[in-house]
Amino acid sequence: MAYFEHEGCTLHYEEYGRGDPLLLVHGLGSSAQDWEKQIPELSSRYRLIVPDLRGHGRSDKPRERYSIPGFTADIVALIEHLNLGPAHYVGLSMGGMIGFQLGVDQPQLLKSLCIVNSAPEVKVRSTNDYWQWFKRWSLARVLSLATIGRALGQRLFPKPEQGELRRKMAERWAKNDKRAYLASFDAIVGWGVQERLGRITCPTLVVSADHDYTPVAVKEAYVKLLPDARLVVIEDSRHATPLDQPQRFNQTLLDFTTTVDTTTQDH
């Protein structure tokens, strides 16, 4: 457990292993804890840095507006604080959005980028988009976080044998700070950097679950806009791929980062 300060906010991160730096950045309403099935394996090869974003986990939850550029500035500060230089970056969902923002603003800080079940923009365009977001926005305000956690657990881990994952999800979700959760939710809607994806020059791996919230076709479309990217679809998985398919996910990620490391050493 370690902490650092950025713009008056105390941010928590964990560090494991040694080697080239690799950042694991969680999604909305999550925390460093949700990488538990990656940490043992990845830390045998890399120096893992696993932060809690502001408003999440053991980091401060300042009463203010949150934004994707703001979360990204915290990650840049962490990279500088630890003097990491170019690092491998892995981001799930909202963590992936932060990865995209980092890639277009500070491409020199990335050795590689892995985006998991995410997108480079969340624009509300059609009536249906608006309705979907409004529904989620309203439910997030009306329901308790414990109720949302239970519902999410059922949706993300529907199989009988996934009871333990459902239980953990419900328990962890209930611990969120409601105001910080809503502020983070608001940070996502309307955000986007899709028109600047050409700036991300590092090797990029896009991982999509076959049953993610957004269809695989959405990922296929934005992968074409990235200079050096490929898409891997993980079957029998939902939005929390690192938790529901950890072996496949870890292997896919390690194959990718190892290739990047080998290629950069050759140059």
For residue 165, being part of any structural domain is answered with: no
What's the CATH code of the domain at 93? 3.40.50.1820
Question: Is the per-residue pLDDT at 246 higher than 70?
Answer: yes
Q: By residue range, what is the domain housing residue 236?
A: 1-121+193-264
Does residue 138 lie in a domain region? no
Residue of higher predicted confidence among 109 and 126: 109
pLDDT for 258 beyond 80: yes
In a domain, 135, yes or no: no
| CB neighbourhood size of 171 (10 A) | 13
Q: Provide the pLDDT for residue 67.
A: 98
In a domain, 116, yes or no: yes
Give me the helix-helix angle, 94-105 and 178-188, nearest 10°. Answer: 50
Alpha-carbon dihedral of residues 196, 215, 179, 190, nearest 10 degrees? 40
Q: Does residue 174 lie within any of the structural domains?
A: no
Residue 257 to residues 65, 79, 107, 205, Cα–Cα distance (Å): 35, 18, 17, 9
186 in a structural domain: no
- Please, what is the average pLDDT of the chain? 95
How many structural domains are present in the chain? 1
* Beta-bridge mates of residue 10: 5
State the CB neighbour count (10 A cutoff) for residue 123: 12
Q: Tally Cβ neighbours within 10 Å of residue 227.
A: 12
Q: How far apart are CA 260 and CA 267, in angstroms?
A: 11
Q: Is residue 150 part of a domain?
A: no
Supply the pTM of this predicted model. 0.96
Per residue in 115-127, pLDDT tens?
999 999 998 888 8
